[in-house]
Structure formats: C-alpha cells, structure tokens
A and B are shown apart, each in its own frame.
Chain A
Amino acid sequence: MKLAMRLKKRVNRSWQVDMMLLLVLGLFGSFMAVPLIYVMNNAFKPLDELFIFPPTLLVRNATLENFADLFQVMKNSWVPFSRYIFNTFFITAAGTAGHILLASAAAYPLAKHKFRGHKVLFTVIVLSLMFSPHVTAIPNYMIMSVLGWMDSYQAVIVPAFAYPLGLYLMKQFMEQIPDALLEAAKIDGASEYRIFWQVVMPLVKPAWLTLLILMMQMLWGTDGGSFIYSEQLKTMHYAMGQIIQGGIARAGVGAAVAVIMMTVPIVTFVFSQSNVIQTMASSGMKD
C-alpha cells in the first residue's frame, strides 16, 4: 500500500529537481527552435522588415511576396524553379521507395533465417555504419564514370537503395516477429517470397515509416553530390545555395526556399512519429 502511494507520486522524484530539469529542457529547446522560427518568419517578412536594424525575430506584417518572388527570380534562370522542385521530389521518391523495398527484402533472410554467411554479411553491414559517405566519395565517382552514370538521376538514386542504416534498422525490427507466425505460413504452403510479402511486410509497417523518414531526409537535402552537372537535373538544395549566394538582397527569397525545404520532412515526421520511435526501440546492437 505504501509502495502504491509512492508510485502514484512517482518514485524517487522531488519537485525541485523536476523544475530545474524542465528549465534546462526549455532553455535548450529554445536554442534548437529559434533559428528555425527565425527563418520561417523571414520567409514571410516584407522587404522593409528584412532590413530593419536591429533585425527582428518575428514578422509583423506577414506577406507571401517572397514566395511569389522566388518563382519570379528563378524565371530568368536557365530552368524554371518548378524543375528543381520536380528533381528533388523525383530523386527522393524513387530513392526512398527503392531503398525500402530492397532493404526489407534483404533484411528478412538476415533476421529470420540462418544460412551460410549470414553472420559475415551482417558484420559487414554493422562495420559500414562506422564510416561516413565521405570516405567512399572518390571511388564512387570513379565507379559512376565507369558505369556511365555521370550526370543522371540514377547516380544519386541507385546508391541510396543500398544505404546500410536502413537494412540495419529493418533487420533489428524484423527479429521481433514471432517465428511461430512464419512457421504457420510455411505449413500452409506459402513460399519464402509470399511469406516475405504477405506476412512480414505488413507487420513491419513502423520500420518502413522510419526508413521513409531517414531516407527522405537524406535525399531531400541532396545537392546531387559530385555526379550531377546539367542544370535540368539539379536539385532544390542546389538552387537554394545559388539564391543564398545572392546575399542579403535575396534574404527573403532564400528563407522562402528554406521553408519549402524544411516543411516536407518535418510534416512527414509529425505524422509518423510514434511509428518511428517504435522502430528505434529495436535499434540496439547486442554486445
């Protein structure tokens, strides 16, 4: 009874420390949020407000001018801004879809079957989590030029299919599926492909959404790396860089692009948050 009482008040908690920790959280939370709030407000500031001294954080008379200007400014460039938007959308959608499909297909055998070499394969995947893409950038450039994929969408899309983090998370998540379920499907005469597609895939929906978020974030922010040169194939991130080069005169338009850039991943995350966290719960490496 005494224990139950204490649990209701939550064990081992004092309100003083609670308040202090909340304060810390609020302080750092605003450090995280202020730059994003600033850029969002900048996007809606009319020209005269952008040049106020000292600069203000919040917008007073919101306007959509900057978004209209964005399309106006880019009208005079080689390709219309909508083309950059399309490129980014296309690369993100194709890369993410391919990655989810191929990584899940590869994760299923690794998670649920013992076959020759499964340990080696998984060790290589874990090791490859330990180096950044920068290490492989130059050889990748050579491989792309040998394949003749320079200056094409697939130079960005296809390597994204085989990004190691997605396979890793998917495999960890699939391990939680009870074996009995797969056995049952097998006894009912389902082939491995059918088990994968009709039993496993529907069960790992949270993991898909996680991969969606991670890949989307990566591809949405890509500037095409060192592979893409033609203006028609370049992405929004690249266009953003060019606009920002324009300096203070384009501050409003730059902020408008940034808002377009950040809205899509953030909104997707808001809608899939609980699923993402569910997947991450199984993300650990066992020692």
Chain B
Amino acid sequence: MLQPKGRLARPQRKWELFIKDMKRDKHLFVLLAPYMVLFLLFTVLPVVISIFFSFTHFNMLEFPRWVGWENYSKLLWNDDVFLIGLKNTLIFAVITGPVSYIACFVFAWLINELNPKIRAFMTLVFFAPSISGNVFFIWQIIFSSDSYGIMNGFLMKIGFIYEPIQWLQNPDYMLKIIIIVQLWLSLGTSFLAFIAGLQTVDRTLYEAGAVDGVKNRWQELWFITLPSMRPQLMFGAVIQITSSLAVADVAMALAGFPSVQYGAHTVVTHLVDYGTIRFEMGYASAIATVLFMLMLGTNLAVQKLLKRVGE
C-alpha cells in the first residue's frame, strides 16, 4: 500500500476509503436498515433510556429530576421487599437455571439414543409444554386449594391428607410449586438446540474414541460429546440463564400479585409493581438496570466456565 504523503493526507485518505466502502456496501445497508431501525428503537433505545432514568426521579407527570445514585442506594439498602424479591429470584435462578439446563441436556442426550420415530415423538412430549402458549394455568387447577384440585383430590383419596392444602396461598409451598412449573416449562429453545447439536456430532469421533480407550458412555459424554457441542452449550446457557432470572409470569399467574407475604415476589414482579402500578419510573428503571447487570454478569461468568468442558 502507498504511504500517504504529509500529515494532512492520511485522515483525508481514510475518509475517502470510508466513503468508498459505504458506497460499495450500500445494498447491504438497505437490507439491514429496516430490522436495525426497529431493533434500535425497541431493544437498544429502551435499555439506554432505562439506564438514564435509573438516575432520575420520574413519575410520568413531572419532568424527570436528576437524583444520582439515590434510587440504587434506596433499592439496595432500604427496600426490604426488593431484597425478598432478589432472594426469591436467586433461589429460582440457582435451582431452575442449572437444573433446567442439565435437564435440557440429559433429556436431549437420552432422546438422541432412540430410533428416529420414537425420537421425534419424545422430542414433542418434552417440548410441548414450552410451546403450548400460556397454558401453565393448568397447574392452578392441579394445585387448586379446594378438593376439586387434582393434587388435593389425589392426596385425600389415598388418605395422605384429610383436608385440602392451600397450596398457592401458603408461602412454604408457593415457591416450590412455582419452581416445579418453571422446570416443566423450561425445556424450550435450548432443548431443541441440544438435540440438534447432538445430531451434528461427528460419528467417527466415537469410533476413534473407542480405539483410543474410551471405556463407557460417561467417558464418551465428557471427552467427545460435550466438547463437540460446546457452541450449542453456550447458546443454551444464555437462553436458560436469562429466562431463569426473569421468573415472573408463572409466579404472578399462580400465586397472585402481590403474593401472600411476598412469598413469590421476584425482581421482575417488583419491577412490575413500581413500573405499572406506582408509576415510579426512575425507581423501576433502577430495578431493571440491576436485573440487566445481573443477567449480563451471570452470562459472562457461565460462558467462561463452559469453555473448560471436556478438559
């Protein structure tokens, strides 16, 4: 490449190159533009707005007033309900996150060993709950507090209990039931990604492994299968972590909102409370920002961990 002459030549040449590139790529930008405009407007801009408003006092009526870190300090030190929500969210995430992730993998792995027809059927059985819209209200009927609830009816029939249990009003049961329902719903996109990933693992690797002294299916799993599908494992982790930290719909549908003694309160229900009921937008934005940071941090940490699979 020619060396630019003099001090002025360089930025000018860079600019010309830039224009040239833009002209060459203009068709590409036309293809990209519609999606990107909407993406910026409905995904990126809201995040930016949210971070900005988290430093203000804003109630949708008056003009936002800058308050610095006040929302955050109130949130983390003076808001007991938020801490309950955070605790519940972490309990959810720590249980449903890894369990659903491992379940997605284990079931995908087991299904993959079946013959194709049964495989397709079992995939449907495991995937159906997550795809069937929001029919998780079924669980509300199953755990209904009267004796028509199938769980109470069953337990009373076998004589295990004598009167119906108030499953969804009792903070002791609430959290556990929501965890079960969340797990029931959680074999979604990442489950499919794992099934697909397993089908792309190079078969000859297993033969080579057998020759090299891989003795059983567990060694096969750790040394061959898992490392081969590391990209899908990463993808699944992102999806699974994000959804396990955002538990709210199930909690609100089953335990009501607000739930008895905040037994099923989560970060997102707290966000809904301040955002759509109290209209304290600045405070709600601070909650959203904390949640965003939590998701980002967990994702990055887990991705680092996953890079060590099969070592």
Contacts and interface: CB of A to CB of B under 8 A. Distances in A.
A8 interface: no
Contact of A31 (B18, B184, B241, B271): B184
B124 A266 contact: yes
Nearest to B109: A21
Interface stretch (A61-69, A78-86, A279-287): A279-287
A64 to B, nearest CB: 20
Given A33-B128, A131-B295, A11 B133 contact: no
B73 to A, nearest CB: 20
Interface size class of chain A, counting residues whose CB lies under 8 Å from the partner chain: 35 or more
B133 A221 contact: yes
B31 interface: yes
A192 B31 contact: yes
B53 to A, nearest CB: 7
A180 interface: no
A146 B38 CA distance: 15
Contacts of B127: 269
- Residue with the greatest number of chain A CB neighbours at <10 A, chosen from B140, B144, B231: B231
Contact of B288 (A51, A126, A134, A273): A134
B120 interface: yes
Contacts of A108: 31
A11 B288 contact: no
Interface string A226-238: 1000000000010
Nearest to A258: B135
Contacts of B276: 138, 141, 226
Contacts of A51: 148
Contacts, number: 313
A192 B28 contact: yes
A122 B139 CA distance: 39
Interface stretch (B4-12, B77-85, B168-176, B212-220): B212-220
B90 interface: no
A54 B21 contact: no
Contacts of A241: 137
A35 B184 contact: yes
B148 A139 contact: no
Contacts of A70: none
A35 B142 contact: yes
A116 B18 contact: yes
Interface residues of B, number: 114
Interface in A246-287: 248, 251, 254, 258, 261-262, 265-266, 269-270, 273-274, 276-287
A99 B65 CA distance: 38
Nearest to B37: A162
Given A21-B110, A53-B153, A265 B132 contact: yes
Contact of B138 (A25, A36, A103, A126): A36
Interface of A: 3, 6-7, 11-14, 17-18, 21-22, 24-25, 28-29, 31-33, 35-36, 38-39, 42, 51, 53-55, 57, 102-103, 105-106, 108-110, 113, 115-116, 121, 124-132, 134-143, 158-159, 161-162, 164-165, 167, 191-193, 196, 213-214, 217, 220-221, 223, 226, 237, 240-241, 244, 248, 251, 254, 258, 261-262, 265-266, 269-270, 273-274, 276-287
11 contacts: A36-B135, A102-B38, A105-B31, A116-B18, A131-B47, A134-B248, A136-B47, A143-B41, A237-B133, A261-B134, A280-B232
